[in-house]
Amino acid sequence: MTTLLDIVRSVDDPELPHVTIGDLGMVRSVAIDGRIARIRITPTYTGCPATEQIRADVEAAVTEAGYEPDVAFEMAPPWSTDDISPEGRAKLHAAGIAPALPAGDGPVSLDLPVECPQCGSRRTRLTSAFGATACKALHRCDSCRQPFESFKAI
Ligand SMILES: [Zn+2]
């Protein structure tokens, strides 16, 4: 049986075709209260323009499932690249996007080399802090000379 949580988790991230907000670990909670479904989502990046699109998509999916959506964003604890599920990492890798570095404990700098999704080399450089969208960065691999995108590690 498909639960409302499954439905919410299966909403696609508008910037990453075939990668869902469940894959990205953005769904914090789904609670049903009568006809109202309270959904709490943590945005991947504050100010990411996709955030409002995600809210609209989640509201549409919840409405279609027969509930009144109450969608809110939860900023604390903040989303981290560690929240991306193993399946989400595999999908990002298949799409040629480096899933960034696990945020870990210490501060993560954008200058840290990101592993190339094409050849696995860490001889990569950041070429632009802003890729196709504000939430991704552009890199170039010095080993295979391919450009690639990554999520910004936070
Ligand atoms: Zn490479």
In the reported structure, the alpha carbon of residue 140 is separated from the centroid of ligand 1 by a whole-number distance in angstroms of 8
Residue 146 CA to ligand 1 center (angstroms) comes to 6
**CA-CA distance, 42 to 73, in Å (whole number)?**
5
**How far away, in angstroms, is 94 Cα from ligand 1 center?**
14
- Overall pTM > 0.85: no
Main-chain dihedrals φ then ψ at residue 87, nearest 5 degrees: -65, -40
* Inter-residue contact 100 to 153 (CB < 8 Å): yes
The alpha carbon of 112 is separated from its chain's Cα centroid by a whole number of angstroms, namely 20
Separation of 124 CA from ligand 1 center, angstroms?
Answer: 7
Could you read off the pLDDT of 65-84 as tens digits, one per residue? Answer: 999 999 999 988 888 888 98
Q: What percent of the chain has pLDDT over 90?
A: 41
Structure tokens belonging to residue 69 = 């959506």
Domain limits of the chain? Answer: 4-73, 86-151
Contacts of 75 (CB under 8 A, 6+ apart): 42, 43, 46
Interval between CA 147 and ligand 1 midpoint (Å): 8
pLDDT of the residue at 18: 81
pLDDT of residue 108: 47
User: Where is pLDDT greater, at 134 or 117?
Assistant: 117
The CATH label, of 3.40.50.10540, 3.40.50.150, 3.40.50.10260, 3.30.300.130, for the domain at 4-73 is 3.30.300.130
